[in-house]
A and B are shown apart, each in its own frame.
Chain A
């Protein structure tokens, strides 16, 4: 069974631009979560989607948004990029419950110049 895939793997943007990252969960998984990883803040939860609805949200500004499609694939969008948005963005999928194992993708490395 294929794992979680994320595209693109690397991205370079300039301040003020916007970016869209994509995540395809493991087949059959209906929950997709997004995390930001930086050297200073570690791994922080952004949001979780289930059945095309945002089910949980972390403490990030409204510039960070996401959505989920009917096939469970998810995208996250960051508008008006800031230097501090440079990070590894990780996507995780699970079946659907909080008790289920989370499986992570390889991440998208975003650099904002």
Chain B
């Protein structure tokens, strides 16, 4: 059974700092890994998707890497801003007997960026 773990559970940093969020998964048989952000009481916003054949993806100040063999992904946020404060979730799309989508999520990292 696929399990996804995110460390740390919570993180508080001053504005302008670069930071790294970690995600690990137990089964390397995945189609892809996706990073999301969730603001309190809201839905999920897709940030980056890394296919299993890729090593990293970048979007603006965000960079996500994937090491499928070791079951790890990192989300790097450069020059953090108070608007980055949210919960960040990683999710894997596991390969299985059936096709289609069924994401397995980590518990998330709650990020606070202080002005």
Is B107 within 8 A of A42, CB to CB? yes
Q: Which residue of A lies closest to B51 (CB)?
A: A99
Determine if B105 is an interface residue (Cβ-Cβ < 8 Å). Answer: yes
Among B31, B42, B104, B107, contact of A98 (Cβ-Cβ < 8 Å): B31
Q: Which residues of chain B come closer than 8 Å to A103, judged between CB atoms?
A: 46
Q: Which residues 22-64 in A have Cβ within 8 Å of B in the complex?
A: 31, 33, 35, 42-45, 48, 50, 55-56, 58
Residue A109 at the chain B interface, CB threshold 8 Å: yes
Given A90-B43, A104-B45, A99 and B31 contact (CB-CB distance below 8 Å):
yes
How many A residues touch the partner, as a band? 20 to 34
B20 within 8 A of A: no
Question: Is the CB–CB distance between B107 and A45 below 8 Å?
Answer: no
Residues of A within 8 A of B91 (CB): 43, 102
- Interface majority SS (helix, strand, loop, mixed), chain A: strand
In contact, B42 and A107 (Cβ under 8 angstroms):
yes
Q: Say if the beta carbon of B55 comes within 8 Å of chain A.
A: no
Query: Can you pick out 25 interface pairs between chain A and chain B where the beta carbons lie within 8 Å of each other?
Result: A31-B100, A33-B102, A33-B103, A42-B105, A42-B106, A43-B91, A43-B103, A44-B105, A50-B100, A56-B100, A56-B102, A92-B103, A94-B101, A97-B101, A98-B31, A98-B32, A98-B95, A99-B51, A101-B46, A102-B34, A102-B101, A104-B46, A106-B43, A107-B42, A107-B43
